[in-house]
Amino acid sequence: MIRTLLAAVALALSGCATIPPPETSPAAVQADAAEAYAAPDRELMVPVEGGNVYVRVNGDLDAAPPVVFLHGGPGGAHNSLASMLGLADERAVILYDQLDSGKSDRPNDPANWRVERFVEGLETIRRTLGIERWHVVGHSWGSAIALEYAAKYPQHVASTVLGGTYINTERWIADANILLEELPQDVQQTIAACETATPPSEERCSRATSAFYAQFNRREPASEAARAYSREIGGKGFNPVIYNEMWGPSEFRSKGSLKTYDAVPLLAKIDGSRTLFLIGQYDEARIDTVEDYVRMTPGAEFGVVPGAAHGFFMAGKARRAMIIAVDGPTASGKGTIASAIAAHFGLPHLDTGLLYRAVGRQVQLAGTDPDNPDDALAAADFPDCLLDDPELRSEAIGGFASRVSIHPEVRAALLERQRVFAQQAGGAVLDGRDIGTVICPDADVKLFVTASLDARTDRRFAEMQSQGREMTRAEVRDQIELRDERDMNRKDAPLKPASDAFVLETTALDKNASIAAAIEAVEGERGGPR
């Protein structure tokens, strides 16, 4: 996919703005350009109104009209566009960080956060570099700046690419809510609740939003070269302060200064014959909406990147959906490891044990018997708000969870919910006790995380102490032993490694070392970075 994209941009720059088939992609364009061009030929800080912005250049500015890429956000950074540096083989590529993001100055003055200042900042960069005409490629929020710039400075624009097109807030929010209807009902309900005055926990809202992003924002994780670039070269990266001020805390509603933003009238003022609208097949920028924009721009062309979502400029090498199963006994570190793996590979994460804890908690609240199959099954119909109950993490509820999970009826009731989560576009990470053996037996990667009884006791005892829970170490050990015996010897879906699982022993590893070992194992099990 990334090679097709680069070919499309290259063709757009030369006046032909159609998406070619993959076989026509020029071999000269490198997929891992972030690695090949990590070092800039030139970098500078350019004074603009309000501060200095970071600019980097690769290639000869005089060889052909250069191309400048405008990152998204507001508050994003040039790191997300490092894969475009491969175009420096044929013309200069300019990446920069808008004020208050990335490696640019961060005065954090809201007076700077106005569209017209961002437009003028771009023009100042052009003048500073001594460029007469350049190709302007904007992504997401950057496409709004690109459109504004093309309308104000047409004499300096060789062509305009509006990628992942955002130019109207009302349409963007309407489209996000239309796309939300394609997700599971529980995700829809959670996101709706998160938009109220009394939202669920931040963790629960984050899980639901991540499910949306996995479908419509990033279906492919960044390449290892791109991740390394961000870690080692890219600067401070995203600035949530400016994002919240200009947009707001939610993807589905704008409360900031952009809440009434509308640049659609500018479409009639730009040269459509030199304009390309470019989106992913599963983009947040919906095809129907962008096609409307194309019709308002006489002569403009429209391209769709097959299989991609909104973050198509940022993607690494294409890969199929990846499901990662992480199993293990209590206090082995599997939850922490699963969460870190999900963040590393850009995948949504589900702690399936939390579902069973919710069933156990519901039994406790109802005063019924966790060892009775009928009582446990009735409790499986728990309200979603119960997932926010802090008591779910207690040892007592862990014991209840172990007892209700024995019942095949309960496991069957929760099975479909877990499988739906696993099968979402792009894949997912699930952790529990039977993910690799029952829930996702065909998972791409299976990890079984374990540690000695003493190590797990020490970890859980320290956790209990930090929470102010009064338990002796001996009591904690007894509870873990009892739960191990129950989980490993239950008739239905006992706790055991899948036959093809990678067993990760964490007894002698601290948190960071365990996470690093797990990520290395995932890369090894799936055949290296993709």
Q: Is the pLDDT of residue 19 over 50?
A: no
CA dihedral (421, 489, 329, 412) in degrees, to 10, reads 10
User: What integer is the mean pLDDT of 484-492?
Assistant: 85
pLDDT at position 303: 87
How much of the chain, in percent, has pLDDT values that exceed 70? 87
- Give me the pLDDT at residue 90, please: 84
Return the closest-CA partner of residue 429 out of 319, 320, 325, 327.
Answer: 325
Average pLDDT, the chain: 85
Total residue count of the chain as it appears in this document = 530
Q: What is the pLDDT of residue 1?
A: 37
Q: What is the pLDDT of residues 375-416, one digit of tens each?
A: 999 999 888 788 888 888 787 898 899 899 889 899 888 988
The C-alpha atoms of residue 379 and residue 479 are separated, in whole angstroms, by 23
226: left (phi over 0), alpha (psi -120 to 50) or beta: alpha
Of 149, 144, 85, nearest in space to 277 by CA: 144
Per-residue pLDDT band for 12 (boundaries 50, 70, 90) equals very low
Distance, in Å, from the CA atom of 210 to the CA atom of 181, rounded to the nearest integer, reads 15
pTM of the shown model? 0.61
Question: Rounded distance, CA 480 to CA 456, Å?
Answer: 8
- Per-residue pLDDT, averaged over 62-79, amounts to 92
Quote the radius of gyration of the chain (alpha carbons, Å). 26
Q: Looking at this protein, which amino acid is placed at residue 87? A: L
Confidence at 530, pLDDT banded by 50, 70, 90: very low
Q: Could you tell me which residue, 332 or 466, shows the higher pLDDT?
A: 332
Q: Please tell me the distance from the alpha carbon of residue 402 to that of residue 405, in angstroms, as a whole number.
A: 5
SS3 (DSSP) at 493: coil
Mean pLDDT to the nearest integer, 55-82:
92
pLDDT exceeds cutoff 60 at 317:
no
**pLDDT at residue 223, as a whole number:** 63
Q: How confident is the model at residue 11 (pLDDT cuts 50, 70, 90)?
A: very low
Token couple for 322: 């990846």
DSSP 168: B
User: 527: left (phi > 0), else alpha (psi -120 to 50), else beta?
Assistant: left
Average pLDDT of the segment spanning 328-353: 88
CB 495 within 8 A of CB 489: no
- Residue-range domains of the chain with CATH: 2-170+220-305 (3.40.50.1820), 322-525 (3.40.50.300)
Average pLDDT over residues 94-121: 94
Q: Residue range 486-492: average pLDDT?
A: 84
Nearest to 290 by CA among 80, 143, 420: 143
Give CA separation, 120 vs 114, 160, 446, in Å. Answer: 10, 17, 51
Q: Any idea which of 64-68, 87-91, 305-309, 401-405 has the lowest mean pLDDT? A: 305-309
Asked if pLDDT for residue 507 goes beyond 80, the answer is yes
- Residues forming beta bridges with residue 327, ordered by sequence position: 432, 448
Most confident of 139-148, 216-225, 336-345, 460-469: 139-148
Residue 526, pLDDT score: 56
